[in-house]
Amino acid sequence: MAKTLGSERHRALIDLLIEKREAAGMTQADLAARLGEYQSFVARLESGERRVDVVEFLELAEALGFDPARAISSLKKAP
């Protein structure tokens, strides 16, 4: 299995999270506060510096109000 950090799919996931945050009308600081984290945590996720694990993804979906299963299925398959 290839490394995922920086992959096309990883970038698509980051883009999706940014899109969902912006659609919710939230700043990185707003989302961080809702998650009980620092703004830098969200910034590292959105810049691609760190991976998003499954539990974090579910918490992000809850905080941003989107269906995590539908979001995952929307990510295009890597070549």
- Alpha-carbon separation of residue 51 from 12, 25, 48 (angstroms): 12, 23, 7
How much is the pTM? 0.88
The per-residue pLDDT for range 29-68, each reduced to its tens digit, is: 999 999 999 999 999 999 999 999 999 999 999 999 999 9
Domain 17-74 is of which CATH architecture? Orthogonal Bundle (1.10)
**What residues does each domain of the chain span?**
17-74
Q: Say what the alpha-carbon torsion angle 25, 29, 33, 35 is, to the nearest 10 degrees.
A: 80
pLDDT at 14 over 60: yes
**pLDDT recorded at residue 77:** 63
> Is 72 in contact with 35 (CB distance < 8 Å)?
no
What values do phi and psi take at 49, rounded to 5? -75, -20
| 61 token code pair | 């979906």
> Is 63 in contact with 70 (CB distance < 8 Å)?
no
